[in-house]
Structure 1
């Protein structure tokens, strides 16, 4: 996945108070979209150190923390074993390089992950294949921000354009809204975040 090398280096010091706060805002937003999820299995896609997924553990039957950075996964693994969590597992895998035909989930959620992915459409297609029929993909990310110029991340997304890409793949019941605005939360700039819910 994009920027994996960078994440490998910062894994040990990733959980800053700012990131923990943004993760809490994101997990709260995701939680509002869950329906009868207690019996469902989920994937925290691009989980990082698991900040969002750990907040949502009690909402699901089981969560798989998936990230392309082994060091990030090691951090999640430590949290799982330190807290003796039985309803979670980890997997280091890069969906930009390959697909997993034997992986399935009722919910996939990703928070501030899509902006690191070069081929957005390819990854969204591969995640569509992982979703069970009727399953949900929930995306939390930044709205497009023209002040940000970067060759390593997207400068956010237009909600309508993203929904169009997803509809072409086959996602349905797509709905999105801006739910949070914060100071200097996106590469030193003020920015707003959206949540998008979609279904297979």
Structure 2
């Protein structure tokens, strides 16, 4: 997945107070869309150090923390060990490079991950295959921001365009809304974040 090298180098200093705060508002937004999931299996896709997924452990029966960065996964393993967390697992894996046919989930969470993925449609198609019938993909990311010019990340997303792309893949019941505005939260710029819920 995009920018793995960068995340490798910052894994042990990743959990800043700003990132912890953004993770909290993101997980609070996600929680609104999680219904009767105590017996469900979730994947925190592109989990980083698990800041969002860790906030949502009580919502699900089990969770897989998946990331392309071994150092990020090591940070999560340390948290799991420190807090003796049951019913969780970790996987270091790159969906953009290889397929994983035996992976399935009822919920997939992607918080500020899509902006790092080069071929968005390709990865969303792969995740569609991972979802069980009726399963949910929940995306939290930045709204498109023309102030941001970068060759390493997307400058956010237009919610309607993203919904159209996902509908073509086969996702249904797609709904999204902007839920947070923050100062200097996206590459030093003021930005807003949306949440999108979709079903297989």
Per the TM alignment, residue 87 of structure 1 is displaced from its structure 2 partner at its CA by 1.4
Q: Does 1:163 align with 2:163?
A: yes
DSSP-derived class of the 2:56 partner: helix
1:152 counterpart residue number:
152
- The CA distance in 2 between the partners of 1:19 and 1:175, in whole Å, is 25
Within a 5 Å distance, the mapping from 1:103-182 to structure 2 comes to: 103-182=103-182
Post-superposition, which runs of at least 4 consecutive aligned residues in structure 1 deviate over 2 A? none
In the alignment, structure 1 segments of 5+ residues that lack a partner are none
2:188 counterpart residue number:
188
Per the TM alignment, residue 24 of structure 1 is displaced from its structure 2 partner at its CA by 0.3
Residues 60-115 of structure 1, C-alpha deviation per residue, up to 9 Å, x if partnerless? 00000000000000000000011111111100000111121000000000100000
DSSP-derived class of the 2:166 partner: helix
Within a 5 Å distance, the mapping from 1:61-100 to structure 2 comes to: 61-100=61-100
**Matched positions, count:** 200
- The CA distance in 1 between the partners of 2:32 and 2:51, in whole Å, is 17
RMSD: 0.4
In the alignment, structure 2 segments of 5+ residues that lack a partner are none
What's the TM-score, normalizing by structure 1?
A: 1.00
Residues 155-174 of structure 1, C-alpha deviation per residue, up to 9 Å, x if partnerless? 00000000000000000000
1:23 counterpart residue number:
23
2:33 counterpart residue number:
33
1:9 counterpart residue number:
9
What's the TM-score, normalizing by structure 2?
A: 1.00
2:54 counterpart residue number:
54
- The CA distance in 2 between the partners of 1:169 and 1:183, in whole Å, is 34
- The CA distance in 2 between the partners of 1:99 and 1:164, in whole Å, is 24
DSSP-derived class of the 1:39 partner: coil
- The CA distance in 1 between the partners of 2:181 and 2:87, in whole Å, is 33
